[in-house]
A = this chain, B = another copy of it.
């Protein structure tokens, strides 16, 4: 554990916000109006009456922390909405920590086509059909199975054995008037009469750090609820490599990590079902996205061949099977989103679909900066991908005082200011998160504290005297004092070794991009956009990323952060057969470049080690 961390809080109220762009943590003073707080933090909520409680458009769902006293008799809320926690944000006073969800606007059956995403319509594989079957007679002797198959127009109808026995009763209980729920030609459920029971689906995003599950209404494509939690596997290693090692070093390791994620997913499903008063059996499809290691752990497949050359996965395909076959407790199917290789997983595929990569004739880049810097270069015709072992510096790991992007993390640094740092939530500083790390290196560089080789200068070599006091030597290593942590009397520092970690990471990312461009024989000036996925993209200081030479100057103005693109892609995959087909064809055509044995990658990498 990082010894720089303490446990501290600053008395502000925390609000976890789930919106279509992903998750956001914002802070508010006690007693504030929720609509105002959201606006101040750039969370977009519609409000045509401007907060007067008249239009009903600013409704949000309060997932936890609901204050009973909040006004809830507004004509714009139905009883069932009130029951599920919906409130108008303009009438909600912030009195304690909250977790809220901003509902997506879905007026029509066409689920959005934001400019960036691959266009799609609501046409998921789950289908609910109400049919008055022909009644049997002496003249019409078809058996029940054939009657259903003919009535629903499903050739080769597939029925699970557990559903067979009650089928006959169901058909006859309302005189052969039935509702069937299907996944392709598979009858998942048969109900008598015209059924009012909803059909629900889940989009599951298994991140190495965070597990997020979205509950969707499959009939209108709306996101009903979302729940995210820290991936419990973190106790067994922060990144994929350490988890793979755990499965190889511990004879029960694979079993333990598999049970961890299965149980966590089931716990979240239980929570979502309870909160929304729905049955697990009415969840008919679950689209799952994750890097290839996360998917292997989910399926309890050995990861060891991914850990050794030539780095081969067991499965990256878009398989579909009964959820309970792998232990996920819903009545329906699981649809794995296909990935591209061992180190370019379905999270990247989902990013390709939910970014604008496929929309233009011109090439764009997609970067996902985690432990591995995974990236894709593509346009509407082709995709090439690679994965670089960037190391976890951009997640704040392997950095002396590094930490995740939570309250108290130094997220911005500007040495020209009086107070050189900002922390998340304006709390006491506890450590430095990824965006802070990147700023730090950029600032050290631009203020002459680090030279272009990445070497930190001795006190007397530094021109600007005001920074000299911040340089100290511990053992053989120079380090820079970012903040003194008054509480536990340990300073937050940034060391020579931390700089090297960042250099390795940024060099890997930069060299990866250059290889991709070289493959297509194009220059940076020909790139239309650079999409940055994941939480890091929201905080990253673009100027710093250019300054340290991670993002080439030519791309500086083209960067667009697309938030949780993996989760967005999973939702699209769940809701649309067309997206599913397109994803499969994209993955089939996608080219993966394994960098580890390419001499030109080594050359680029060494070149990119230098600072600007």
Q: Which A positions have Cβ atoms within 8 angstroms of B?
A: 136-146, 161, 164-165, 167-169, 172, 299-302, 304-305, 309-317, 321, 325-326, 341-342, 592, 594, 596-597
CA distance A138 to B592 in the complex (A): 10
CA distance A145 to B317 in the complex (A): 8
Given A136-B312, A312-B136, A300–B165 Cβ distance below 8 Å? yes
Q: Which of these, B299, B317, B594, contacts A146 with CB under 8 Å?
A: B317
- B596 & A301 in contact (Cβ 8 Å cutoff): no
CA distance A138 to B312 in the complex (A): 9
CB distance from A187 to the nearest CB of B (A): 13
Report chain B residues within 8 Å CB of A596: 138
CB distance from A559 to the nearest CB of B (A): 29
- A314 & B167 in contact (Cβ 8 Å cutoff): yes
Given A164-B315, A301-B168, A310–B143 Cβ distance below 8 Å? no
CA distance A137 to B172 in the complex (A): 59
Report chain B residues within 8 Å CB of A140: 310
CA distance A161 to B311 in the complex (A): 22
Report chain B residues within 8 Å CB of A315: 143-145, 164
- B310 & A136 in contact (Cβ 8 Å cutoff): yes
Q: List 6 A-B contacts (CB under 8 A).
A: A138-B310, A138-B311, A141-B594, A144-B314, A169-B302, A172-B305
CB distance from A31 to the nearest CB of B (A): 54
Given A165-B302, A302-B165, A321-B161, A141–B326 Cβ distance below 8 Å? no
- B312 & A143 in contact (Cβ 8 Å cutoff): yes
Report chain B residues within 8 Å CB of A309: 138
CA distance A145 to B305 in the complex (A): 13
- B301 & A164 in contact (Cβ 8 Å cutoff): yes
- B161 & A326 in contact (Cβ 8 Å cutoff): yes
Report chain B residues within 8 Å CB of A594: 138-139, 141
Report chain B residues within 8 Å CB of A137: 310
CB distance from A413 to the nearest CB of B (A): 39
CA distance A450 to B316 in the complex (A): 80
- A141 & B305 in contact (Cβ 8 Å cutoff): no
Given A141-B594, A341-B141, A164–B310 Cβ distance below 8 Å? no
Q: Give the most central of A141, A168, A326: most B CB within 10 Å.
A: A141
CA distance A540 to B392 in the complex (A): 85
- A141 & B312 in contact (Cβ 8 Å cutoff): yes
Q: Which of these, B143, B321, B592, contacts A316 with CB under 8 Å?
A: B143
CA distance A313 to B315 in the complex (A): 41
- B299 & A161 in contact (Cβ 8 Å cutoff): yes
New A-B pairs, 13, CB < 8 Å, besides A143-B317, A145-B314, A161-B299 = A136-B310, A138-B597, A141-B310, A142-B312, A144-B312, A146-B316, A161-B325, A164-B299, A164-B301, A164-B314, A167-B314, A168-B304, A168-B314
CB distance from A484 to the nearest CB of B (A): 49
Report chain B residues within 8 Å CB of A142: 312
CB distance from A346 to the nearest CB of B (A): 12
CA distance A314 to B317 in the complex (A): 36
Report chain B residues within 8 Å CB of A597: 138
CA distance A299 to B163 in the complex (A): 12
CA distance A317 to B146 in the complex (A): 8
- A314 & B143 in contact (Cβ 8 Å cutoff): yes
Report chain B residues within 8 Å CB of A321: 161
